[in-house]
Structure 1
Amino acid sequence: MQKIFILLLLPLFLQAQKSKDSFTPEEVRADMAFLKKRFEKIHPGMYYYMSKEEYNKKYDSLYNTINQPLSYLETFRVLSRLVTNVKDGHTNLRYDKKRFNKKNAKFVPFYLRKIDKNYYLALNYSADSTIIRGAEVLAFNDEPVEQLIQKLKVFVSSDNGNEHSKDYYTVSAFPTYYKRYFGEVDSIKISYRLPKNDSVFNKKVACQTNSEILKIDKKRYKNLSRPNLSLKIMDSVNHIAKLDITTFSMSGKFLDVSEQKFKRVLRARFKTIKQLKVEHLIVDFRANGGGFIPNVSRLLKYLSPKPFTLVDTVAFKKKAYFAIFKPYYFGPPVTMWLGFMKRDGEFMYRVNKRNDRHKPEKALAYRGKTYFITDPGCYSATTFTINLAKDLGIPEKIIGQQVGGATWGSFAVNWQDFKLPNTKYIVHTPLMKINHNLPNKVNKDFFVKPDYEVNRNREELLKNNTSVIDFTVEMIRQSKALRER
């Protein structure tokens, strides 16, 4: 009898599962209202970059266009606009994990790079190795690349709508955003031109899983990797070295919650820097999206000539208090109230009064000249580092491209992932506002801009080199030669 009952209910269950592929206007609108209300309650950056009046206009306009059922992906595009219009790079919308985050999910096997107004192949993870790095990409599935990129930008959140950052992530993470717009596909047609060849080639290639991509990467692009905290001598005669910091996260095994591995490896690198008597240290931050904030101070202790403090103020909305300090945590919900006694409207906050909390390293302090290399992929803990270092007068020059994160600080530290009731999308939301400690106030731009702008070019794609490193090394050589005359 029980088996018969289950069989009778099975069609209804399958129909319910199938209905999740689309949503009624009422369901979409309900999720829009839920999302906006939750942002207003807990998001510390709601209406910080976009005024309430402007956001409401965009919200109402979008709300009024929902008058027929939308597919799963169409709904995702609509709700993504409400998220990206907060204009915070730490805030994003994600698929329901059960649907699209499968281990065997397939991705478009191409990574791009925009140079001037054209798009070129930076990495090819398809089985067809004849589509070479440096090929000019014209279209995917007969849709011009530029038109396609503009579509995908709807998913990219950036601080204050930073267009450099939006371009950077849309292009560099093309497979991810393509999947968010079109869903998972088995194959894709690419139209391209090879270097020094006017002929247009069209090929249809299979999409790849992450494991397949990693296997090809190890074989095809092993020379392009930049291991985190790797140190390389660029010019032994002029004592020039380069330290790659591709992330501010590096934890060891056995519950390394405080990331002691980063601390150990970093110390080993500066020990080598001292032994080699490096006079000019290039710190390459490109594509570093951030990481563990205590690692910021760990790096700056080797570079700063004087004591410093990381944070000026930390704030959060009063209504987010128990989202940060969970009621079931014994102690913090009570004690942390005393740590944030100051009030400013709907915010609770605290101020760091000391400006010398972190002391410079003594034995391995680096006192040579330092140069930072940046791009729009520099964000979060990385822009934290760059802004503090610039205020402390550490980098001799900053070379490359404008960074992705704001100078003043960011919305970060603590997070909440909440699920929308109907669509089940996951919304990733920061809960705290953190202001950098910048007592010298030398950072006048909203986003740190380089002293020398050096953009990437097609030649480096063809030769597997890097123009910004070459520029920096040559700049150091010339400045040293000029001083020695």
Structure 2
Amino acid sequence: MCNRIAALFLALIGLAVTSCSSRHAFDPNRKFAPEKLRQDYTLFRNILEESHPSLYWFTPKDSMDLYFSNGFNQLTDSMTEPQFRNVISTVISKVKCGHTSVRYSKKYSAYIDTARQRMFPFTVKVFGPDSMAVVSNLNRRDSILKRGTVVTAIDGRSTTSLIDTFSNYLQSDGNIETGKWQMISNRNSFGNLYRAVYGLNDTFKVDYIDSNGFAQSTVVAAFDPPKKVAEKKPEGGKPAKPATPAPKTPKEKPEPKSVTLNATRNVQIDTTLRSAYMTVNTFARGYRLRSFFRRTFRELKRRDIKYLAIDVRNNGGGDAGMSTLLTKYLVNKKFKLADSLYTTKRSSKYSKHIELQKLYWLWTQLVTHKAADGKYHFGFFERHYFKPKKRSHFDGQVYILTGGNSFSATTLFAKAIQGQPNVKVVGEETGGGAYGNTAWMIPDVTLPNTHVRFRLPRFKLIMDTSLVKAGRGIMPDIEVGISSSMIKRGVDPKLAVVARIIRDSARADASKMSSKSSAN
């Protein structure tokens, strides 16, 4: 018995040592030999050509062949994982499919999450092909590059050149540019792209427009995250015992579930204006959307709300079942999700590299059928009409706020109700295509040598064939952009426009009611 315990103890120690050594053994600067890169790249191309349902939807085959060849021809020397990822990213951007993207290997992703890396010093908002302004600055003592400052160049590279270059590394649906501009603007994306494409120096020369409208230049330093304060040790080697024990730092408690849920979806009601403002930042499952929608629309009916703004500007999609549910509370007629929904392949000769390929094969055997066009169609969604909700259905005025982050299932929702007499889409073109998408089943593919991953859509969904050629997102009924002065003042122009429309409409309704009362 003692021998077994000792053996188990030694095994656990060995496992821990192995785990620690493997963690420390990861080298982010490791270079892969050209032959290994070419093997991964060839597999990457073969899988896309075999299984991607919309590889040639917007880019003809001869053009894609050229892009594939150009990428392969760059693999003449050893590369690090980020360098190889850049090559793949530029090829994938030519597919013009927002659901096909590249991810680092799991180990490199873990390294990024924990490494203390120098950072690009500020974030930006891109609001045109040649327009960019500072949103926040990590160097808080910087009194020059403040919120709203227009940037015209960095290290001699014009804003137009930077936006155009970074766009070549980003995926988007069809010919939509607003989605890419928003991706560059999201969180630390601009800095991460700058690092990936140009690298980060100690300092950056930034050209900008000052508060008087004059062109100026300044030099700013890269941001170094603060180091952890090491505990000082006396000569003896043991930590010195403080005379007065320091108070213990309380452990950070995870946010309550209610806080997370409220940040993801919430509603505010103004009974004075008989209006409500609903935020829905995802259609993913796990956020109790079904009960949220049920309670919300029941309350809107109880309070006789006449105006509803629904903000989906930061909704990147999720479960089509949830977006369909919200649609049913608002739509005034029966609707279909798609004119057609199909996959081109059930099986794959590269199945060992594709996540859940066996499960996918089984699932498609059950729910799809091979049609005359040789494709495997998901017939239920091609035939089925969803009906409006009868209970708690909202019949008042609806304003849908959209932007570049409105993507995937969010466009299914907005497309289904746009055009109704009581619905207006306000804001910017959606990042997701109005014609359709490939958002149905999207496994990861892991390349064997570099372990770089890419997402492989398996289904092609077409909502409106007449819109495919243009390849655009849902265009707003009321277009509202943004400017550097609005960024500087912290103004939300889209919300301001909707608030003004509701306020004016509510006042007009009140005036009519008053006139009727006087007449009686």
So what's the TM-score if we normalise by structure 2?
0.74
Which of 102, 109, 133 lines up with 1:120 in the alignment? 133
Q: Given that residues 288 and 382 in structure 1 are in contact (C-alpha distance below 8 angstroms), is that contact kept between their aligned partners in structure 2? A: yes
Relative to structure 1, the CA distance from residue 418 to residue 334 in structure 2 (aligned partners, 3 Å threshold; closer, same or farther) is closer
- Decide which moves more: 423-432 or 190-199: 190-199
Q: Given that residues 108 and 188 in structure 1 are in contact (C-alpha distance below 8 angstroms), is that contact kept between their aligned partners in structure 2? A: no
Instruction: State the partner residue of 2:277.
Output: 242
CA–CA distance in structure 2, aligned partners of residues 84 and 120 of structure 1: 25
CA–CA distance in structure 1, aligned partners of residues 375 and 355 of structure 2: 13
Name the % identity. Answer: 22
Partner amino acid, structure 1, of 2:457? P
- Decide which moves more: 447-456 or 189-198: 189-198
Q: Superposed, which structure 2 residues align to 1:26-425 within 5 Å?
A: 26-102=35-111, 103-105=113-115, 106=117, 107-115=119-127, 117-128=130-141, 130=143, 131-140=145-154, 143-172=157-186, 173-182=189-198, 189=204, 191=206, 192=208, 195-196=211-212, 198=214, 200-208=217-225, 227-233=263-269, 236-249=271-284, 251=286, 259=287, 261-320=288-347, 326-327=357-358, 336-343=364-371, 345=373, 347-352=375-380, 357-390=385-418, 393=420, 396-425=423-452
Which of 463, 474, 478 lines up with 1:452 in the alignment? 478
Instruction: State the partner residue of 1:466.
Output: 492
Relative to structure 1, the CA distance from residue 431 to residue 239 in structure 2 (aligned partners, 3 Å threshold; closer, same or farther) is same
Relative to structure 1, the CA distance from residue 195 to residue 242 in structure 2 (aligned partners, 3 Å threshold; closer, same or farther) is farther
CA–CA distance in structure 2, aligned partners of residues 147 and 444 of structure 1: 25
- Give the drift of 1:45: 1.4
Cα shift readout 1:204-243 (whole Å, capped 9, x = no counterpart): 142459xxxxxxxxxxxxxxxx93322234x654423221
Match of 2:185, SS state, is: helix
Partner amino acid, structure 2, of 1:149? I
Structure ranking higher in strand proportion: 1
CA–CA distance in structure 2, aligned partners of residues 382 and 339 of structure 1: 24
* Runs (5+) with no aligned partner, structure 1: 1-12, 210-225, 252-258
Partner amino acid, structure 2, of 1:384? L
CA–CA distance in structure 1, aligned partners of residues 380 and 421 of structure 2: 22
Match of 1:430, SS state, is: coil
Relative to structure 1, the CA distance from residue 370 to residue 139 in structure 2 (aligned partners, 3 Å threshold; closer, same or farther) is same
- Give the drift of 1:454: 0.9
Coordinate RMSD, CA, aligned: 3.6
Instruction: State the partner residue of 2:256.
Output: none
Relative to structure 1, the CA distance from residue 238 to residue 384 in structure 2 (aligned partners, 3 Å threshold; closer, same or farther) is same
CA–CA distance in structure 2, aligned partners of residues 407 and 394 of structure 1: 19
How many residues of Structure 1 are paired with residues of Structure 2 in the alignment?
440
Q: Given that residues 369 and 396 in structure 1 are in contact (C-alpha distance below 8 angstroms), is that contact kept between their aligned partners in structure 2? A: yes
Partner amino acid, structure 1, of 2:134? L
Instruction: State the partner residue of 1:256.
Output: none
Greater Rg by CA: 2
Q: Given that residues 89 and 157 in structure 1 are in contact (C-alpha distance below 8 angstroms), is that contact kept between their aligned partners in structure 2? A: yes
Match of 2:114, SS state, is: coil
Match of 2:99, SS state, is: coil
Instruction: State the partner residue of 1:223.
Output: none
So what's the TM-score if we normalise by structure 1?
0.78
Match of 1:371, SS state, is: strand
- Give the drift of 1:296: 0.6
Partner amino acid, structure 2, of 1:110? F
Match of 1:155, SS state, is: coil
Cα shift readout 1:399-436 (whole Å, capped 9, x = no counterpart): 11111112232112212212223332111111112234
Match of 2:325, SS state, is: helix
Partner amino acid, structure 1, of 2:48? F
- Decide which moves more: 36-45 or 19-28: 19-28
Partner amino acid, structure 2, of 1:75? F
Cα shift readout 1:253-277 (whole Å, capped 9, x = no counterpart): xxxxxx5x12122223223322332
- Give the drift of 1:452: 1.8
Relative to structure 1, the CA distance from residue 353 to residue 73 in structure 2 (aligned partners, 3 Å threshold; closer, same or farther) is closer
CA–CA distance in structure 1, aligned partners of residues 422 and 383 of structure 2: 20
Cα shift readout 1:91-126 (whole Å, capped 9, x = no counterpart): 111122212443224443532113453321123344
Instruction: State the partner residue of 2:244.
Output: none
Instruction: State the partner residue of 1:213.
Output: none
* Runs (5+) with no aligned partner, structure 2: 1-21, 227-261, 513-520
